[in-house]
Amino acid sequence: MTNIRQVVLLILDGWGYAPAWGGNAISVANCINYGKLWKEYPHTTLCASGECVGLPGHERGNSEVGHLNIGAGRIVRQDSGLISEAIKNGSFYGNAGLIDAIVHAQKRNSNLHLMGLASEGNIHSNISHLYALLELCKQQKFERVYLHLFSDGRDTDPMAAVTIISHLQDQIKKVGIGKIATICGRYYGMDRDNHWERTSRVFNAIALGTGEVADTTLKAITQSYNKGITDEFIVPTVIVNNNKPVVTAKNGDSLIFFNFRSDRARQISMAFMAEKMPYFDRKLKLEHFYFVGFIPYGYEEELKLKLQSAFTQEEIPESLGETLAKNNLKQFHLAETEKYAHVTYFFNGGTEKPFPDEDRVLIPSPRVASYDNKPEMSINEVCKHACKAINSNKYNFIVINFANPDMVGHTGSFNAAISACEIVDKKLEEVVKACLKANSILLLTADHGNIEQMVNPKTGEPDTEHTKNPVPFILIGDKTTLVENLNVRNDGILADISPTVLELLSLNQPKDMTGKTLITKI
């Protein structure tokens, strides 16, 4: 194998591998370049879900998990599993961070708020964790408990909220603890793209009691459905009793945020806890307010304080980024806003700060209501910066994320998904040409599946969720000098990508990195 100076990793976010059929946007679209690469270069598929990425065996993969496993070069046990295990073994009910939130409210004769995504998707939250919080409050004999819920419709069926909330209300009745005070779609409650006008509406509903109103949570959901608004987009709605909010958050209260994924938890956390709020006109700064997240959410520089977290995340030493830095190699991380945290924080094993000689470029995602309105997103700018970095001969490793397949796939719009696949295919050609010209190796892969199944094969309805499908992996380079004697094996997982990068760069694999190179010699 000729000495390789630059390896480029291009992650097509949400681009799974599945047989061609009418619901597969990739096979329906005219993806000439992708098909050509698959035929002409060494290729395989990688397991990107379940136990292969540290999730329970039946769970779909997702972007956070995918990038964590890719960058770590090992199977990373996920926070969701750690929390579920704590519930199972009983340690959850003695968790100091959670109990401190209750004690804080007890001492002040104030309220406890439980905020998060009411979902069975297990991507950002798990409804069973909310059930456990209600049980914890019962054990602590604390009854002033109010729920502020985000409906999903993205990692679940678009209209699953009625069933989920009905089951939750049954649990509330059974435990005898909790009242639902607000509900909104995750579009508002979990924005990560600096649409602060969305975040402000959620904060105002919870802290000020302003927004749409409904007598019951189920009425809030059904009145949205009657307007053609599905779960993800339910407008922040305050539940009222005799035309007054059930509750609003006040000074001295406590709040437990039960989401276990950080990227979409940050903005709403900042809305509550930042000393100053430069992004919207916050009418109220809550004082002596105890805020605890299930995990660390980041944003510590912006907040100027460290938020409490109930659970600590597994440390990931010797990630790919750290290993490259220790070997004095230069690296470049590139994505648009929607996936920027994934190629930086998650890819680097939960490390916020760049490693030495690590450059980053963030391309703003377009400010549109939904990406089916602009399926190209910001791929033109991402591709332009990618090719510039490749051609600069400055970097030994470059990681790029094309967000379109995942973000457009989540809209459920089949036509938009086809457009997204075709623009990705077009820009893929540009990246390949730049790599071949620079005599670089390009590793083409994905983090999980999504856009290859836009239609539920059982119901025929639009499918907005991730899939359990494997993802492609293609080794691309000059056929006469770089990849002429190389092949790839067929039993790989995402954790095998970093060891592959290290082998291509002739670097030793650190002992904590337990993945195995995908390269085989012919």
Annotated binding site for substrate: 124, 154-155, 186, 192, 261-264, 339
Nearest-angstrom CA–CA distance, 67 and 62: 9
DSSP codes, 292-348: EESS----HHHHTSPPEESSPPPP--S-HHHHHHHTT--EEEEEEHHHHHIIIIITT
Nearest-angstrom CA–CA distance, 437 and 393: 11
Contacts of 519 (CB under 8 A, 6+ apart): 475, 486, 487, 488, 500, 503, 504
Query: Does the annotation count 63 as an active-site position?
Result: yes
N-terminal to C-terminal alpha carbon distance within the chain: 11
Annotated binding-site residue numbers for Mn(2+): 13, 63, 406, 410, 447-448, 466
CB 345 within 8 A of CB 301: no
State phi, psi for 189 to the nearest 5 degrees: -75, -20
DSSP codes, 203-244: HHHHHT--SEEESSHHHHHHHHHHTT--GGGPPPEEEEETTE
State phi, psi for 16 to the nearest 5 degrees: -85, 170
Q: Which residues pair with 331 in a beta bridge?
A: 358, 397
Nearest-angstrom CA–CA distance, 316 and 325: 15
> From its phi and psi, is residue 76 left (phi > 0), alpha (psi between -120 and 50) or beta?
beta
Annotated binding-site residue numbers: 13, 63, 124, 154-155, 186, 192, 261-264, 339, 406, 410, 447-448, 466
CB 408 within 8 A of CB 423: no
The tokens for 180 are 């639902």
CB 118 within 8 A of CB 152: yes
Q: Which of 49, 63, 254, 378 is catalytic?
A: 63
Cα dist. 34→95, 149, 430, 485, 487 in Å? 49, 41, 12, 22, 18
User: Active-site residues: which are they?
Assistant: 63
